[in-house]
Structure 1
Amino acid sequence: MASSYRMRASTSASSSSTQRKYDVFLSFRGEDTRKKFTDHLYDQLRRRGIKTFRDDPELEIGATISPELLAAVEQSRFALVVLSPNYASSTWCLLELAKIVQCMGQRGTILPIFYEVVPSDVRHQRGSFAEAFGKHEKKFGKDLTKVQEWRDALTKVANLSGWSSLNYRYETELIKVIVEELWKKVHPTFASLESESLHNLVGSDSKPMGMDFLSDSDRDRDRDRDRDRDRDRDRERDREREKQREKDRVRQRTSAHIFQ
């Protein structure tokens, strides 16, 4: 009996360990966000001590989703789903999403990020999402059950509470909020102690537990990089505005010439 109990306990512990191999599974459309938003988000999650699974670009070459990736979903506690304009155009992403909903739908551990999309368009599958599913239905005409499963998964995730990039002036602000919220969920005990320490150590040089993942030089480097990125983004906006103003001036001159 004791041996049987130890075996069950060992199996249970092993299962728990397997489930917690990753804190977060990051689901995203590579062509939309891999080299920008998702890369910066992954980097900050890693720096904060949050074990995050991000797929290898080489995996997306094949048409069939890899068993390793599906296993990573099963072994993750939370899922961050970056819903970008072309997310639904990828059958890979939709298969991934369906697996996420299957594994985490009842646990309340799916967190959507609406990146450069209107949340209601995702929920009701309008715009680029409507176009994507129209193409899927033509491609899988004889297997619409699969497409409907993808639709249901997307609707379910899009109706969950999350973050919208449209509510933030800079991506760095959005990423900071997401990372801090994930850290609290992944390490609730540390988060509680951190909050209590901040309350009790006002004016003290002591640092609360869990707050010092980055050295001062790392923080300075991140701050400079964020400042440069924001400055580049502002310059790009200024260039776009100037181009638009120049187009308007040309249009006005052309109209004036026509009516002379």
Structure 2
Amino acid sequence: MAYMCSESPFSSSSSSSRHRWNYDVFLSFRGKDTRKNFTDHLYTALIQAGIHTFRDDNELPRGEEISPQLLKAIEGSRISIVVFSKHYASSRWCLDELVKILECRQKIDQVVLPIFYDTEPSDVRKQTGSYAKAFDEHEERFKEETEKVNKWRGALAEAGNLSGWGLNNEANG
């Protein structure tokens, strides 16, 4: 399924200067990897700084697609912070979020800030290491949906080329 980033009804162009933002920041992360440590600390710090931040606190049930509310939260955020962790690519929902985030980056100039948490940008960009293993499983599971898998690969390659922060071996985030 392709997700299209909506443009503001008040804008005739895709310029972010006319877009109405509902959130300052959207956090994209793999809950099992970082919810109880790094992402929790980051979210708390953003909120304490007065930054209106969206964090999905609900785990998505298996077999379900990203909710329309989550897609709207991505579209309505000025900045997306993507926390790439070892198992980020094993989640199809994280990958769908990333595709949507990068579409919004192109269409409404959303700022995307990657954080490479215990993973290397080159693993994200080239899908090596744990990312290669995740894609072996995706290619097996989504044999009939090669376009979807290729879209995920392209999104990771693009995001892995963005300037971001590397956090390795950080105690409790």
TM-score (norm 1): 0.57
Larger radius of gyration: 1
**CA displacement, residues 77-135 of structure 1 (integer Å, 9 cap, x when unaligned):** 00000000000000010011100001113626111000001221111110110011111
Q: Which residue does 2:6 correspond to in 1?
A: none
| Secondary structure, aligned partner of 1:42 | helix
Identify the structure with the greater helix proportion.
1
Alignment of 1:1-260 (within 5 A): 12=10, 19-58=20-59, 60-62=60-62, 63-105=64-106, 107=109, 109-166=111-168
Report the Cα distance in structure 2 between the residues aligned to 1:139 and 1:129, rounded to whole angstroms: 15
Please report how far the alpha carbon of residue 57 of structure 1 lies from its aligned counterpart in structure 2 after TM superposition.
1.7
Report the Cα distance in structure 2 between the residues aligned to 1:50 and 1:156, rounded to whole angstroms: 26
**CA displacement, residues 122-181 of structure 1 (integer Å, 9 cap, x when unaligned):** 111101100111111111111100100011011111110000003x86666xxxxxxxxx
Quick one: higher RCO (CA 8 Å, sep 6+), 1 or 2? 2
Mapped contact 1:89–1:129 kept (Cα < 8 A): yes
Q: Name the % identity.
A: 53
Q: Which runs of 5+ in 1 are unaligned?
A: 1-10, 173-260
Aligned residues: 159
Report the Cα distance in structure 2 between the residues aligned to 1:18 and 1:47, rounded to whole angstroms: 25
Report the Cα distance in structure 2 between the residues aligned to 1:64 and 1:84, rounded to whole angstroms: 21
Identify the structure with the greater strand proportion.
2
Report the Cα distance in structure 2 between the residues aligned to 1:33 and 1:87, rounded to whole angstroms: 10
CA RMSD of aligned residues (A): 2.2
Q: Which runs of 5+ in 2 are unaligned?
A: 1-8
One-letter amino acid of the structure 2 residue matched with residue 147 of structure 1: V
One-letter amino acid of the structure 1 residue matched with residue 61 of structure 2: I
Mapped contact 1:42–1:52 kept (Cα < 8 A): yes
Mapped contact 1:19–1:74 kept (Cα < 8 A): no
Mapped contact 2:10–2:19 kept (Cα < 8 A): no
| Secondary structure, aligned partner of 1:20 | coil
Mapped contact 2:28–2:80 kept (Cα < 8 A): yes
Report the Cα distance in structure 1 between the residues aligned to 2:99 and 2:127, rounded to whole angstroms: 16
One-letter amino acid of the structure 2 residue matched with residue 91 of structure 1: R
Please report how far the alpha carbon of residue 56 of structure 1 lies from its aligned counterpart in structure 2 after TM superposition.
2.3
After superposition, the Cα gap between the structure-2 partners of 1:44 and 1:71, relative to the gap in structure 1 and judged at 3 Å, is: same
